[in-house]
Structure 1
Amino acid sequence: MKHEICINLPIAPLEVPTLRELVGWEGRHSDYPILFKRCNFWAGCRDAKNELIAFGYIAGMGLQHGYMEDIIVHPQFQKKGIGQAVVRKLLEEAERVGLEIVTLTYDSKHTSFYTESGFIPCSGGLWSVAGT
């Protein structure tokens, strides 16, 4: 089955936290639906049962630079190209709206996924209240 990736797919507040938990991340229930109001745009897709199986978004000022985050694919649908399709759709939308630079951070085990998606690894920095 081919899964259609949609920009600004209508998503209920509990759907993304549920998907986050399915991949072993903290649900961050209080982030939704606030995130949908604050990010530039998001992408997602559903399975044949209309359940959310993939999600990702780009946030930022929306002028020249955006930050891609939370590329999530339901465990039963991983390794089928859906994650890269979400990334491609987000980058197409970024280009359409005039973003010239999109950055992201990722665990080094995902380097090949993101280089295959068109990203160039580079150094950077991280500041966190928790100090990590």
Structure 2
Amino acid sequence: MKHEIVINLPIAADEVPNLRELVGWDGRYSDYPTLFERCNFWAGLRDEENKLIAFGYVSGMGLQHGYMEDIIVHPEFQQKGIGESLVRKLLQEAERVGLEIVTLTYDSKHTSFYKKSGFTPCSGGLWRRKD
């Protein structure tokens, strides 16, 4: 399968939540399609049957800094280089639109993946609302 990652790929409102659930995440159905209206850009990949198999996006003010989130690859298509291609495409688009810094947070088990994809690990912080 050739990795034809497409920036701002047309995506139906339920496709990303369905993909999120396939990888064991909360679907966040209420976030879509609002996310597409608010983020800077997104990227996706479809398989031969036109099913969404990869997704990620960059959000922020669109000035100097962006934040990458939701790098998702369908479980059946993982370990094939799709995730790395997705991240690289998003970083190419970030560079094209003039972003100088892109950050993201990830579980430490994914450090080597993100290093391979061009990120430099660094310290940071996380605030989370208390439920």
Normalising by structure 1, we get a TM-score of: 0.98
Check whether the contact 2:55–2:72 (CA below 8 A) recurs between aligned residues: yes
User: SS of the counterpart of 2:43?
Assistant: strand
CA-based RMSD: 0.8
CA distance in structure 1 between the partners assigned to 2:13 and 2:98 by the alignment: 28
Structure 1: which amino acid aligns with 2:79? K
1:47-79 Cα offsets, whole Å, 9 max, x none, are 000000000000000000000000000000000
CA distance in structure 2 between the partners assigned to 1:80 and 1:73 by the alignment: 10
CA distance in structure 2 between the partners assigned to 1:55 and 1:130 by the alignment: 28
Structure 1 residue aligned with 2:53? 53
CA distance in structure 2 between the partners assigned to 1:43 and 1:29 by the alignment: 18
CA distance in structure 2 between the partners assigned to 1:130 and 1:64 by the alignment: 30
Structure 2: which amino acid aligns with 1:80? K
Structure 1 residue aligned with 2:115? 115
Structure 1, unmatched stretches of 5+, are none
Aligned residues: 131
Normalising by structure 2, we get a TM-score of: 0.99
**What is the CA distance between 1:130 and its match in structure 2?**
2.4
User: SS of the counterpart of 1:35?
Assistant: helix
CA distance in structure 2 between the partners assigned to 1:102 and 1:113 by the alignment: 16
CA distance in structure 1 between the partners assigned to 2:105 and 2:130 by the alignment: 17
Structure 2: which amino acid aligns with 1:47? D
CA distance in structure 2 between the partners assigned to 1:70 and 1:34 by the alignment: 15
**What is the CA distance between 1:3 and its match in structure 2?**
2.4
Q: Percent identity?
A: 79
Check whether the contact 1:5–1:89 (CA below 8 A) recurs between aligned residues: yes
Structure 1 residue aligned with 2:13? 13
CA distance in structure 1 between the partners assigned to 2:3 and 2:87 by the alignment: 14
Structure 2 residue aligned with 1:129? 129
Structure 2, unmatched stretches of 5+, are none
**What is the CA distance between 1:15 and its match in structure 2?**
0.1
User: SS of the counterpart of 2:130?
Assistant: coil
Structure 2: which amino acid aligns with 1:21? E
